């Protein structure tokens, strides 16, 4: 047992040293993150036991077709997701990536997560491949707005269509805006 633990530590330490050397040697370093980085922040991986897909069948609650068919039903899932993300704080892994960016060793983060924890930790260049829950979007006209406390559920756009959080549902393409950012990756992050 002890031997295995020591072996594990040695492998981990070696891996970390290699990663650190690669980052220092690099021309461009970017971090690609997924659900695992937010698990220590208290957000269970959606697909793991205890994850949100155990309660909400994604085919019933997380496809764009399901949303267009019955927005109120899919909002039950969004409300639960919001509660799950609400209390979460960035953990040392998010903070370390923000720090690496701040000292010029990391160009940015590409994430599949919709929890906003990279930005909360202080990362400035964050490509949210699956969107984020910070804004609402209208699937009808593309209109956006920020959610308000005590808003009507589902929120309705001025065009009459129910709005959804700006997260990518199954059946929707990944956000295109992050790709456009590549051109200004090293410069103006605002476009
Ligand atoms: Zn609209």
Would you kindly state where each structural domain of the chain is located, as residue ranges? 29-184
| CB atoms inside a 10 Å sphere around CB 43 | 21
Q: How confident is the model at residue 143 (pLDDT cuts 50, 70, 90)?
A: very high
Q: At residue 16, does pLDDT exceed 60?
A: yes
What pLDDT is recorded for position 3? 54
- Minimum mean pLDDT range among 138-147, 159-168, 174-183: 174-183
pLDDT band, residue 181 (cuts 50/70/90): low
Ligand 1 centroid vs 185 CA: distance in angstroms? 31
Active site residues: 130
CA of 56 to the centre of ligand 1 (A): 26
Contact residues for 29 (Cβ-Cβ < 8 A; gap 6+): 22, 23, 100, 105, 106, 107
For residues 102 and 100, what is the distance between their CA atoms, to the nearest angstrom? 5
- Kindly indicate whether the domain formed by 29-184 is annotated with CATH number 3.10.129.10: no
Among left, alpha and beta (phi > 0; psi -120 to 50; other), residue 116 is left
**Cα of 156 from ligand 1 centre, angstroms:** 8
By mean pLDDT, which of 24-33, 143-152, 169-178 is the weakest?
169-178
Kindly provide the residue ranges of all beta strands, DSSP E only, lying in the chain, ordered along the sequence: 30-33, 108-111, 126-128, 131-137, 144-145, 164-167
Global model pTM greater than 0.85: no
Residue 72 · residue 95 · CB < 8 Å = no
């Amino acid at each position: 047992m002890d031997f295995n633990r020591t072996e594990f530590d040695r492998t981990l330490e070696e891996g970390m040293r290699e990663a650190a050397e690669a980052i220092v040697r690099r021309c461009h370093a970017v971090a690609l993150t997924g659900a695992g980085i937010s698990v220590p922040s208290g957000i269970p991986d959606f697909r793991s036991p205890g994850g949100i897909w155990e309660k909400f069948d994604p085919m019933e609650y997380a496809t764009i077709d399901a949303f267009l068919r019955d927005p109120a039903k899919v909002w039950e899932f969004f409300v639960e997701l919001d509660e799950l993300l609400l209390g979460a704080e960035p953990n040392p892994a998010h903070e370390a990536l923000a720090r690496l960016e701040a000292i010029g060793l990391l160009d940015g983060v590409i994430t599949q997560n919709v929890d906003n924890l990279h930005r909360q930790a202080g990362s400035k260049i964050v490509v949210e491949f699956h969107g984020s829950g910070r804004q609402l979007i209208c699937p009808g006209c593309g209109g956006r707005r920020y959610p308000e406390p005590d808003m009507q559920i589902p929120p309705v756009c001025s065009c009459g269509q129910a709005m959804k959080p700006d997260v990518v549902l199954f059946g929707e393409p990944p956000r295109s805006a992050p790709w456009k950012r590549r051109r200004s990756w090293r410069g103006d992050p605002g476009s």
